[in-house]
Amino acid sequence: MGTGFLVLQVHNESDALPIANAHVIVSDKHGKALFETHTDANGNTEPLELTAPDKEHTLDENYKKPTYSEWNVEVKKDGFLTAHIRNVEVIDTQTAILPIHLHPLVDQPGTPTEEMIDIPPMLPVLPVEAHQIPYQEDRTRQAVPAVFAPANPHRIPDMAIPVEAAGDDPPAAAPRRTVFIPDFITVHLGAPTNTSARNVRVPFIDYVKNVTSSEIYATWPRNSLIANVHVIVTFALNRIFTEWYPSRGFNFDITNSTAFDQYFRPGAQIFDSISRVVDEYFNVYAHRQGFVNPFFTSFCNGTTATCPGLSQWGTVTLANRGMTPIQILRHYYPNDLMLTRTDNVQGITHSFPGTPLRLGSSGEHVRRMQNNLNRIRINFPLIPQIQNPNGQFGPDTEAAVRAFQRSFNLTQDGVIGRATWNEITRVFTAVTGLAALVSEGERYTIGENPPNVILRRGSRGADVRQLQFLLNFIAQFNNAVPTVIEDSVFDQRDENAVMDFQRAYGLPPDGVVGPATWNQLYSVYRGIRENAPLPSVPPVTPPVTPPVGAPTPPFPGTLLRVGSRGENVRLIQTYLNSVRSRVPGIPQLAVDGIFGPITQSAVIAFQRHFGLAPDGIVGPITWGALIREFQAGTATPPTPPTTPGGPAFPGTLLREGARGDDVRRVQTWLNSVRSRVPGIPQLTVDGIFGPITQGAVTAFQRHFDLTPDGIVGPITWGALVREAEPGTGAPPPTPPAPSGPPFPGTLLRVGSRGDDVRQVQTWLNSVRSRVPGIAQLTVDGIFGPITQGAVIAFQRHFGLTPDGIVGPITWGELVRQAG
């Protein structure tokens, strides 16, 4: 027997909101419970390890016994119907993902309290008799003999429509002339003429994942999987393009009857390897040269049913011979078949910019994704907040992207490629769709007239919540307005958002919501609801900067942040240099008018010292505080002092890749404080800033409530000086390291193998009696999902970042706890 994995994703029936702390029980076919767990804040469970027949059977087309194991799942949550899902399939080496949508419990006599879902078998194991149903099409549309269709034939004569076909009569129902990817597809759960069968409306990308996971095995070679996804996508797009069923009077796009269409199983699991392929290729379709329409890709399984089209099992053989997906398709279809990717995805995406967004990217595309992620995290709280959605792709944006990818089964690379872009936009649409927003508006009693109150920073209550709703609504349509958290508390983020709104719509940017701002908010909200165009964003002309020493220069009207340049930046750099003798952690700044990371760190240090929100942005509040402190002291910048009790910050950020004496000094200080700071490993004082030093810096920053970015700037430098040896700055002797092997120098994660993984598994087994959620691990040196789940449980228990990766901090904590 082999081993597969099962992950549950529990949402409410609209698929927009996760359900946290749902009680999950997984049992075998005899009712014996094997796992009992709860969903996390994003509605997901950890991977559950289950037995399954060996993978090799899924690669043998002549194997007649079951190739997967079946399990039953029960999900309970107060206020919802209890869901019973039977016959959930698990395949050896694969991760099955089971989406579960819980329905609200109706508190009326006689209403059900439970819901039963029986998942039918996968297609490769269905008997031939299951699909022998009469097949008679309308002869005025296309001539099809009245015969019994064989199992899964997927065979209807090609309806290819050439771009210009002289002499051809148009079909009775003129097809659309533009190929697009629908946001949703309506599936009829039965034969076309079965009027008792119901229709379901499914996101197109989820439909493709479900059909592919139901038609073929996730263990097949990658090129075979890709070829089959191309076929499934193209088949569905042909149905939509030709309006095949609506033109015949049906109220659906496609059926799940394999005598006519493709095998869709409502409520069934999908497989992670298939999900990743679909994320990459759901908008790629096949067509012939000179033809607009998606080619009618007839196909069958190639064993119990054969047809002139593609053989699903045959794609395995061809892929093993080294054929590419397009070569596989041309083996079965015409040689002039082409593959085309379309970004015409109606209702799902805004056009992907064409280039992945990653660390260092900037611009409006980045800002849009930052705002989207901040809005999504309201419903998926394990996604960290991007504090400054300014269009600069920094470490906080990368962390949010990784967390999003982890929650939605995407490659966790922190890069917004096409698949991540589409999924962020899809989820954003789900949690902030117009219908949902309208209902939110009604819940917050947005009437004809705005409230007769004035809101400013510090205000609380229902009127603040209404303001936050309006800002989030408008942010969907105007990227100049950032999203906020709807928590009924008016804080600095809300003030900044109000100021951005005021600037965008020609109001004085004072951050106060008075009658003029309320009226404009309502006017824009109504205009969007009525599909009116947005008001243009007026240009902001920076005022002339007053000379240093002039009485109370006014805030310039534009937020100053990383990337800003000009006289206003020079002015704040002058102010910061002036007050740095009284504010720990402010470095000596070059007054160059360039707002870079050092200036940002100086602003953060100033804000922390005076109890302001430490966001590194100079808005009107920080601007005013800088002026007050500047005018309270000397009008000229003082001589730069050294950092209290130790050497001055060198003026250059120390990060991974840095080398030299300053790095040696940091390593020495970290070794000095590691006995008091959990998670800092013993460092080699070699002057090389590598991943282990970065991990130690991050642990230090977390312990002292600094930004945990793993970079030593002026604030972290000053804290290291103080904590290494208060009053002297001289590094004390390094304390002994905990007994145990040193960190191997390479991160251990899913896919890692070897003795270091065995060591980690051994340690986890030794502490599992004290740490809830750690399963008994097989010490085999293979870092799979079960080991990952154990690492996450360990990290959560000891207050570490629960990323499932063993770096120097987690390694050191394992050494301490196990030894």
The mean-pLDDT minimum among 114-118, 315-319, 769-773 falls in 769-773
Query: Residue 181: helix, strand or coil by DSSP?
Result: strand
Return the exposure string of 278-309: e unless at least 16 CB atoms fall within 10 Å of the residue's CB, then b. Answer: bbbbbbbbbbbeebbbbbbbbbbbbebbebeb
Q: Which two tokens stand for residue 61?
A: 């087309």
pLDDT above 70 (res 94) = yes
Dihedral-angle region of residue 372 (phi above 0 means left; psi in -120 to 50 means alpha; beta otherwise): alpha
Residue entry with tokens 């079946």: 70
Per-residue pLDDT, 125: 53
Return the exposure string of 450-461: e unless at least 16 CB atoms fall within 10 Å of the residue's CB, then b. Answer: bbeeebebebee
pLDDT above 70 (res 170) = no
Distance CA 517, CA 512 (A): 8
- Residue 48's Cβ-count burial label (10 Å; 0-12, 13-18, 19+) is buried
Residue type, position 713, single letter:
G
Give residue 762's pLDDT band: very low, low, confident or very high (50, 70, 90).
Answer: very high
The whole-number average pLDDT for the span 767-780 is 85
Predicted confidence (pLDDT) per residue in 226-267, tens digit: 999 999 999 999 888 877 887 677 888 999 988 888 999 999
Q: Around Cβ 20, how many Cβ atoms within 10 Å? A: 17
The whole-number average pLDDT for the span 94-113 is 84
Predicted confidence (pLDDT) per residue in 121-147, tens digit: 887 655 433 333 233 222 122 222 222
Per-residue pLDDT, 558: 65
Distance CA 214, CA 510 (A): 57
Q: Around Cβ 338, how many Cβ atoms within 10 Å? A: 15
Predicted confidence (pLDDT) per residue in 191-234, tens digit: 898 989 999 988 899 999 999 999 999 999 999 999 999 999 99
Comparing 610 with 40, the larger pLDDT belongs to 40
Distance CA 479, CA 484 (A): 13
Per-residue pLDDT, 99: 93
Per-residue pLDDT, 707: 66
pLDDT above 80 (res 473) = no
Pairing state between β 199-203 and 184-188: antiparallel
Distance CA 630, CA 578 (A): 6
Per-residue pLDDT, 65: 82
Residues 6+ apart with CB under 8 A from 111: 105
8 Å CB contact between 773 and 722: no
The whole-number average pLDDT for the span 801-808 is 76
Return the exposure string of 598-608: e unless at least 16 CB atoms fall within 10 Å of the residue's CB, then b. Answer: bbbbbbbbbbb
Per-residue pLDDT, 613: 65
Residue type, position 421, single letter:
W
Per-residue pLDDT, 731: 39
Which one, of 8, 15, 5, lies nearest residue 73 by Cα? 8
Residues 6+ apart with CB under 8 A from 138: 248
Predicted confidence (pLDDT) per residue in 615-659, tens digit: 778 876 788 788 878 877 643 333 333 334 567 777 667 878 788
Give residue 769's pLDDT band: very low, low, confident or very high (50, 70, 90).
Answer: confident
The mean-pLDDT minimum among 438-452, 625-639, 757-771 falls in 438-452
Q: Which two tokens stand for residue 497?
A: 């958002």
Query: Residue 72: helix, strand or coil by DSSP?
Result: strand
User: Of all residues in the chain, what percent carry a pLDDT higher than 70?
Assistant: 78
Query: Residue 147: helix, strand or coil by DSSP?
Result: strand
Q: Around Cβ 46, how many Cβ atoms within 10 Å? A: 23
pLDDT above 80 (res 273) = yes
Mean pLDDT of the chain: 77
The number of angstroms, rounded, from the C-alpha of 750 to the middle of its chain's C-alpha atoms is 19
Residues 6+ apart with CB under 8 A from 410: 276, 279, 404, 419, 420, 423
pLDDT above 50 (res 526) = yes
* Beta-bridge partners for 8: 98
DSSP line for 19-48: -TT-EEEEE-TTS-EEEEEE--TTSBPPPE
User: Of all residues in the chain, what percent carry a pLDDT higher than 90?
Assistant: 26
Residue type, position 706, single letter:
L
Comparing 655 with 155, the larger pLDDT belongs to 655
Per-residue pLDDT, 254: 93
What's this model's pTM, rounded to 2 decimal places?
Answer: 0.49
